[in-house]
């Protein structure tokens, strides 16, 4: 399936009207120069050969060179990926916390006002465009209340080079024990992560609620109640743990949405990640890099379902024994 | 012998969109300490609902609309949530029909035992709790090593014994068993009933055995309460009820049991079908199917009459 | 006999209330969604009469004026009236989203029906392709397509449409497969019904109900994607009035606190999406309560 995705990427990126090389060279370059460049880039070979070359390159993890800058695409992506990973992970955490707890609470208070409000939240929140959410949060917390930063990963007085190791700044600052830098990094994460996390939480609220309603009808819940176990413990420990497993599976399927959301969030918050790279290069018509990023995303999405299966096996004892 | 439980005029209703289901209506029952009371009746007669009501475990929209449930003199219906919680598991335990679905599949057995213990005995340390769980398992004939297993790794009979174990670990006075053998095969069922008998003597338990299986009741019960359509048809000593059933419903029930010794060309059944509890028949609930129906049966609900120390709700004995 | 409009409205309301009692909350959600959609569609249809200014008029009032007075929603940096731009913008977004949904559904349903019905190699290959596209982030695919195709209403509509074809395909194919096995289809075959008869007269009607629900939710999604694409500067030339684009233009003035430039366009996008979502969800619950177990 990954294979098909990669093929689709290949096709999509070659369908544009017009000639990429001539536009890259400025539109008025002489024919000979254009032909030369095309030859160098291998664009004159038959399409089938280009396709095979493309697949071969991916296997070697060689994503080519940027058309615009003097850099290897792989390197360009590698520089930006940690930022996206950090953002995405924080987003996932927020989505899960919000979604799962609100969903469980709604299931517990079924039929009451809180239930309806939370269900409404679930519907509405998903319909709020990620970027608008980002802009509004920036407006409220960044401009009006002036509490949180609205752009970048670090503030003006913090230099990433002093601690950068893995690229995951939260991790890096902890490793070098630079806690003031850690604070700065965290505070820059707040708004973007919330933007990403809030919008997707709607889905999880509804999923959790639906699963919880089913689980709460189960016999073992009644049996636990019959043993005098307190209600809150039953809902948030016994029931939730059982409802959680299908939610986890769902998480894997949402990676695609997360990636999409990340692109929009990064643009809005000037977050130096893969998403923003993608857009930058689209404006610059740097096709190899564009292709590289999209391939990377396809691979990440494919990997995600694999990871979910592994986590599933860890959490559910019925699978293990 | 002390009266451990006394149910007075209990009515339980389920308001649903098409009407109100009168699941239990004006039920009176007295339970003596140490006895096994068989609560029998067909599906939908209200016996399970009655059982659940005793520990106030009714699923919404079920509600106790009337009556009292006196446990050692205290009214369960009026108790606060906190009081009920301390009662459940500790003084009154309940076990259920399907042991596989009654145990949380994600938690190990030891965890589920220890949780029960901790819920009611706060200061308990983990080691003692663990020890008690082990002892309980041993007394039930299960190797203590199985404590670290998950429910799905055990057989059905073993799971049912675990269920009993968790129910009895805090030494309750009363055990309510809701159709405990329905999900078990015949041999395991027999073992289970023997076990129940032993435990009853060992712990001086009072047991309410809710079942539609008359065989179970014959083996284990001291007294039997027959329910029909949300009301009590008759109550009496087990052997007396089997030998000489008073209520026409009980008579019909017992005669419909196929008897291998008799030469029966056709199985005997009762005409008609169970009553619609949203719109029950007027007067006696059983009257549309009763072979001895009289005029009064159609109009007035029968009072409870005493006959040789037995109770029966039928105008035949009025 | 002529009925007065008041009586007509009264009849509609009483019918709504009656159905509301029957179906409960879901019906009201549906109604709410429908009202929102109707309001915005009317806005689009009667844009000329509703908007006080032309959305292109760069001389409607002071620059960057806050909401108030003549300008309900203020003015932007080119002295255009924001409210008028909102009113006219509704046309663009509705046009693109609805058209994209129609294209998606027609293609997706047709392919799904054929694929599910005929089976075999064609079905397997097509399913594989569709599943792959489905698992990939739609927005990113749309971005790539829009970037490659260049700006233009047709292009952006196509970009958005392509993403949803797999959704319809999977849904319809699945249903086709299960209906194919039903006895009444066998019976039809036994009396000699041809393949296409079975397809169109038996399978298609059963599939329609779920498809309608998916269609409304599809439009909601398409609205979001269209807005995202234009926000990112892809898909439409600046000469067209569009909410997403207004958002990206208004973004520049965020630090200086001109909140009305981003608040209103974004709110409208959300509102329209919410409207369609409510319509879809309400419809789903009513047509089949366990249909969308999300």
Predicted pLDDT at C229: 92
pLDDT in tens, A80-136: 888 898 899 899 899 988 988 888 888 888 878 888 888 888 888 988 999 999 998
Q: Are strands B36-40 and B223-228 parallel, antiparallel or unpaired?
A: parallel
Sign of CA dihedral A187, A188, A194, A195: positive
Q: DSSP label at B281?
A: P
Considering only residues 231 to 270 of chain A, which have any Cβ-Cβ distance to chain B shorter than 8 Å?
Answer: 238, 241-242
Judge: B101–A225 Cβ closer than 8 Å, yes or no.
no
Judge: A264–C273 Cβ closer than 8 Å, yes or no.
no
Burial of C121 (0-12, 13-18, 19+ CB in 10 A): exposed
Looking at residues A122-151, what average pLDDT do you find?
Answer: 86
Judged by DSSP in three states, B205 sits in coil
Predicted pLDDT at C107: 92
Q: Shortest Cα distance from B1 to chain A (angstroms)? A: 27
Of A2, A4, A138, the CB nearest to C254: A138
Chains A and B form CB pairs within 8 A to the count of: 73
Confirm if A199 and A128 have CB atoms less than 8 A apart.
yes
Predicted pLDDT at C288: 67
Looking at residues A144-169, what average pLDDT do you find?
Answer: 76
Predicted pLDDT at C293: 36
Average model confidence (pLDDT) for chain C? 82
Predicted pLDDT at A20: 59
For chain C, which ranges sit under pLDDT 70? 1-3, 20-24, 195-196, 198-200, 202-205, 288-294
Using the predicted structure, report yes or no on whether residue B147 has a pLDDT greater than 80: yes
C132 touches chain A (CB under 8 A): yes
How far is it, in rounded angstroms, from Cα C219 to Cα C236? 19
Tokens 């752009």, located at residue: A151
Q: Shortest Cα distance from C70 to chain A (angstroms)? A: 25
C159 → chain A, closest CA residue: A12
Cα angle at C228 between C224 and C231, to 5 degrees? 135
Picking from A206, A249, A224, the residue whose alpha carbon sits closest to that of residue B106 is: A224
Picking from B260, B226, B236, B207, the residue whose alpha carbon sits closest to that of residue B308 is: B236
In sequence order, what are the beta bridge partners of B227? B232
Average model confidence (pLDDT) for chain A? 80
Name the band, by pLDDT with cuts 50, 70 and 90, for residue A19: low
Judge: A1–C131 Cβ closer than 8 Å, yes or no.
yes
C224 touches chain A (CB under 8 A): yes
Instruction: Sort out which chain A residues have CB atoms less than 8 A from B103's CB and list them.
Output: 220, 223
Predicted pLDDT at A240: 85
A230 → chain B, closest CA residue: B85
Instruction: Sort out which chain B residues have CB atoms less than 8 A from A321's CB and list them.
Output: 150, 152-153
DSSP conformation letters of A233-301: HIIIIIIHHHHHHHHHHHHHHHHHHHHHHHHHHHHHTT--SHHHHHHHHHHHT-HHHHHHHHHHHHHHH
Is the entire prediction scored with pTM above 0.95? Answer: no
3 state SS for B50-83: HHHHHCCCCCCCCEEEEEEEEECCEEHHHCCHHH
Picking from C272, C282, C251, C212, the residue whose alpha carbon sits closest to that of residue C89 is: C272
How far is it, in rounded angstroms, from Cα B188 to Cα B199? 16
Which has more pLDDT, B104 or C205? Answer: B104
Using the predicted structure, report yes or no on whether residue A22 has a pLDDT greater than 60: no
DSSP H helix total and E strand total for chain B: 11, 12
How far is it, in rounded angstroms, from Cα A68 to Cα A25? 10
Considering only residues 129 to 158 of chain A, which have any Cβ-Cβ distance to chain C shorter than 8 Å?
Answer: 129-132, 135-136, 138-139, 143-144
Burial of A28 (0-12, 13-18, 19+ CB in 10 A): exposed
Burial of C242 (0-12, 13-18, 19+ CB in 10 A): buried
Judge: B105–A220 Cβ closer than 8 Å, yes or no.
yes
Two tokens at C91? Answer: 């046309």
Looking at residues B259-278, what average pLDDT do you find?
Answer: 75
Confirm if C97 and C160 have CB atoms less than 8 A apart.
yes
Picking from B216, B305, B287, the residue whose alpha carbon sits closest to that of residue B249 is: B287
A294 touches chain C (CB under 8 A): yes
Predicted pLDDT at C76: 80
C158 touches chain A (CB under 8 A): no
**Mean pLDDT: which of A49-53, A171-175, B287-291, C268-272 is highest?**
C268-272
pLDDT in tens, C209-240: 788 889 999 999 999 999 999 999 888 888 88
A314 → chain B, closest CA residue: B106
Predicted pLDDT at C195: 67
Which has more pLDDT, A196 or C199? Answer: A196
Those chains having 3 or more beta-carbon pairs within 8 angstroms of chain C are A
Which has more pLDDT, B269 or B224? Answer: B224
Predicted pLDDT at B45: 85
Considering only residues 79 to 118 of chain A, which have any Cβ-Cβ distance to chain C shorter than 8 Å?
Answer: 116
Predicted pLDDT at C290: 45
Mutation to test the A interface, candidates C139, C152, C246, C275, most A Cβ within 10 Å? C139
Considering only residues 208 to 247 of chain A, which have any Cβ-Cβ distance to chain C shorter than 8 Å?
Answer: 210
Picking from C272, C279, C274, the residue whose alpha carbon sits closest to that of residue C41 is: C272
Tokens 């399913």, located at residue: C127
Using the predicted structure, report yes or no on whether residue A18 has a pLDDT greater than 90: no
Predicted pLDDT at A15: 63
Main-chain dihedrals φ then ψ at residue C236, nearest 5 degrees:
-135, 140
User: Which of A13-22, B112-121, B169-178, C180-189 has the least mean pLDDT?
Assistant: A13-22
Q: Are strands B310-312 and B206-211 parallel, antiparallel or unpaired?
A: unpaired
pLDDT in tens, A241-280: 888 888 877 777 788 888 899 999 999 888 888 888 888 8
Two tokens at A190? Answer: 């707040």
Judge: A129–C270 Cβ closer than 8 Å, yes or no.
yes
């Amino acid at each position: 399936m990954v294979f098909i995705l990669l093929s689709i990427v290949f096709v999509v990126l070659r369908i544009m009207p017009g000639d990429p090389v001539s536009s890259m060279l400025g539109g008025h370059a002489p024919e000979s120069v254009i032909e030369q460049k095309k030859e160098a880039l291998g664009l004159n070979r038959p399409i089938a050969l280009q396709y095979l070359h493309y697949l071969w390159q991916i296997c070697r993890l060689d994503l080519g060179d940027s058309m615009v800058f003097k850099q290897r695409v792989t390197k360009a992506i590698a520089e930006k990926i940690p930022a996206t990973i950090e953002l995405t992970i924080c987003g996932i955490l927020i989505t899960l916390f919000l979604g799962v707890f609100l969903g469980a609470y709604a299931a517990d208070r079924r039929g009451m006002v809180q239930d309806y409000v939370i269900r409404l939240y679930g519907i509405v929140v998903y319909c709020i465009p990620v970027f608008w959410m980002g802009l509004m949060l920036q407006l409220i917390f960044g401009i009006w209340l002036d509490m949180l930063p609205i752009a970048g990963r670090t503030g003006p007085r913090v230099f990433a080079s002093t601690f950068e190791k893995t690229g995951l700044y939260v991790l890096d600052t902890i490793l070098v024990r630079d806690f003031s830098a850690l604070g700065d990094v965290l505070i820059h994460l707040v708004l973007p992560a919330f933007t990403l996390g809030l919008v997707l939480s709607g889905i999880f609220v509804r999923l959790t609620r639906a699963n919880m309603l089913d689980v709460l009808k189960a016999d073992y819940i009644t049996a636990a109640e019959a043993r005098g176990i307190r209600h809150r413990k039953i809902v948030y420990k016994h029931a939730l743990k059982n409802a959680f497993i299908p939610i986890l599976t769902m998480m894997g399927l949402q990676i695609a949405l997360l990636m999409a959301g990340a692109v929009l969030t990064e643009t809005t918050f000037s977050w130096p990640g893969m998403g923003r790279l993608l857009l930058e290069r689209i404006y610059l018509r740097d096709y190899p890099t564009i292709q590289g990023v999209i391939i990377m995303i396809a691979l990440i999405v494919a990997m995600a379902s694999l990871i979910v299966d592994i986590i599933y096996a860890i959490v559910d004892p019925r699978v293990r024994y | 012998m002390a009266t451990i439980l006394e149910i007075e005029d209990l009515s339980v209703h389920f308001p649903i969109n098409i009407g109100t289901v009168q699941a239990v209506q004006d039920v009176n029952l007295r339970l003596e300490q140490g006895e096994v009371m068989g609560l029998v009746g067909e599906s939908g007669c209200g016996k399970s609902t009655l059982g659940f009501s005793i520990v106030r475990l009714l699923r919404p929209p079920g509600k106790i609309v009337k009556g009292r449930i006196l446990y050692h003199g205290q009214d369960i219906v009026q108790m606060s949530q906190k009081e009920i919680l301390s009662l459940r598991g500790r003084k009154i335990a309940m076990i259920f029909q399907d042991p596989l679905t009654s145990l949380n599949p994600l938690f190990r057995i030891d965890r589920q035992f220890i949780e029960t213990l901790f819920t009611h005995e706060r200061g308990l340390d983990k080691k003692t709790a663990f020890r008690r769980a082990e002892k309980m398992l041993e007394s039930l004939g299960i190797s203590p090593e199985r404590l670290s297993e998950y429910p799905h790794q055990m057989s059905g009979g073993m799971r049912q014994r675990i269920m009993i174990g968790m129910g009895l670990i805090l030494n309750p006075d009363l055990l309510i068993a809701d159709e405990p053998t329905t999900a078990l095969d015949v041999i395991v069922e027999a073992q289970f009933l023997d076990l129940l008998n032993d435990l009853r003597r060992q712990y001086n338990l009072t047991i309410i055995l809710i079942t539609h299986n008359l065989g179970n009741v014959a083996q284990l019960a001291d007294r039997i309460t027959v329910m029909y359509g949300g009301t009590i048809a008759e109550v009496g000593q087990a052997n007396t009820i089997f030998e000489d059933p008073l209520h026409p419903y009980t008579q019909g029930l017992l005669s419909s049991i196929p008897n291998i010794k008799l030469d029966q060309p056709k199985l005997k059944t009762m005409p008609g079908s169970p009553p619609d509890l949203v719109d029950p028949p007027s007067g006696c609930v059983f009257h549309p199917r009763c072979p001895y129906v009289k005029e009064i049966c159609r109009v007035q609900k029968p009072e409870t009459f005493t006959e040789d120390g037995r109770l029966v709700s039928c105008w035949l004995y009025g | 006999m002529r009925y007065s409009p008041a009586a007509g409205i009264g009849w509609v309301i009483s019918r709504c209330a009656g159905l509301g009692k029957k179906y409960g909350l879901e019906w009201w959600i549906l109604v709410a969604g429908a009202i929102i959609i109707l309001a915005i569609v009317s806005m689009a249809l009667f844009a000329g009469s509703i908007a006080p200014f032309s959305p292109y008029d760069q001389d409607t009032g002071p620059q960057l004026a806050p909401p108030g007075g003549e300008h309900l929603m203020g003015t932007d940096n080119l002295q255009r009236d924001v409210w008028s731009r909102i009113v006219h913008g509704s046309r663009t977004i509705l046009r693109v989203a609805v058209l994209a949904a129609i294209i998606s559904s027609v293609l997706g349903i047709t392919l799904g029906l054929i694929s599910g019905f005929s089976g075999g190699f064609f079905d397997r290959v097509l399913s594989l392709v569709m599943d792959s596209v489905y698992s990939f982030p739609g927005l990113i695919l749309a971005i790539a397509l829009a970037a490659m195709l260049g700006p233009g209403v047709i292009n952006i509509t196509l970009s958005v449409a392509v993403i949803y074809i797999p959704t319809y395909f999977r849904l319809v194919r699945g249903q086709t497969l299960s209906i194919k096995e039903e006895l009444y289809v066998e019976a039809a075959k036994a009396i000699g019904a041809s393949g296409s008869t079975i397809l169109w007269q038996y399978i298609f009607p059963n599939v329609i109900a779920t498809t309608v629900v998916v269609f409304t939710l599809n439009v909601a999604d398409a609205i979001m994607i269209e807005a995202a694409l234009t926000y990112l500067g892809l898909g439409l030339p600046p000469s067209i009035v569009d909410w997403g684009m207004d958002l990206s233009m208004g973004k520049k003035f965020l630090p200086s606190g001109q909140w009305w430039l981003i608040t209103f366009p974004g709110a409208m996008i959300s509102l329209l999406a919410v409207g369609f979502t409510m319509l879809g969800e309400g419809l789903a619950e009513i047509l089949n309560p366990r249909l969308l177990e999300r």
